[in-house]
Amino acid sequence: MSTEKQIKIGVIPAGGKGTRLGFLSALLPKTLCPLYDRPILHYVINQMENLGIEDIYVIVHARKEAVFQYIKMIEIDLKARIHFIEQPTLDGTANAIALAEKYTKDQPFMVIYGDDCTVAKSLDPMVGLFFEKNPVVVEGAVQESEVKILQQTCSLNLEDDGRMIEIIEKPEHPPYHVRGCGVYLFSPKIYDYIRKTPVHPVRLEKEITYTINSAAKDGEAYAFTIEGSNVNINDYNELLKASLLVKAQSHH
C-alpha cells in the first residue's frame, strides 16, 4: 500500500460502563473485559496496528483510571502511540467521535468501538474500498440471520456494489438481514454530518447511525462485508461467544 492510501489515525470510543456485564462491571470498564487472552481494548488496538495505524485516540469515561493503568502496562509492546480523550458525558456515539476532530484534522481515520469483536482474515480490503470509492464513510457489515440481534443493533439496505441505501437503528421489524458493525472508516467530512445530526428526543444522544444514514441519502456511504464474524459485546453470552471466536482464530 502506498503511503497516501493508508489510514494513520484510529479512534476507539471506550467510555461505556458495561452494566449488563453485572459483577464484571463492578471491577472493570467494559472495554477491559477479557476477550479470550487479552482485554477487548487491547485486541482492538492490535487490529488497528495490523493496518499500519500509528496514532490511536482512546475515548474514555467510566473508570478511566483503570484504562490508563492498563495502557501504561502494555505500552512497551505496542507499535502505535496511544492518546486519551475524555468524554465528559456519555451523550452518544456521534458525539464521542466528534471529540477526535481536533486531532484527526483533515485526515481520514478509522473507528472501532471498544466493545467490538471482529474476527476477520484482514480489514485491508475495507481500506481499499474506502480509497477506491472515496465516500464520507465505509462501515463494516455482516450477514445477520438473528432478528433479535438486528433489533438491538441496526439493519442495512445495500446496492450490489456496497453503496448504502439506508441504515436503520434498532428496528422493531428489521427489513434487511445485513447488520452494521462497530468498525468504520471516515473522511473528515463526517464531522459536518455529525454537527447536523439531531439529538435523539428520548435517549438525548447523538447516534452515529443517524449520521451515517444522512450520508447514505447523499450517496456518500458504503458498507464493506466482512469475511468473518462480528460480535457487539453487551452481555456475558456475547463476551463468551466473542472469546471463543478469538480463541479459534488464534489457534489457526
- 105-127 mean pLDDT: 95
3-state secondary structure of 158: strand
Query: Which cell numbers in the block locate residue 168?
Result: 436503520
- 160-175 mean pLDDT: 94
pLDDT in tens, 62-87: 889 999 999 999 999 999 999 999 99
Place of cell 489515525: 9
| pLDDT value for 1 | 43
Of how many residues is the chain composed? 252
3-state secondary structure of 167: strand
Distance in angstroms (rounded) separating the CA atoms of residues 4 and 2: 6
| pLDDT value for 2 | 46
Residues 157, 242: contact at Cβ < 8 Å? no
Pairing of strands 137-143, 221-225: parallel
Domains of the chain, residue spans: 6-250
- 92-104 mean pLDDT: 96
Which residues are bridge partners to 153 per DSSP?
Answer: none
Domain spanning 6-250: CATH superfamily: Spore Coat Polysaccharide Biosynthesis Protein SpsA; Chain A (3.90.550.10)
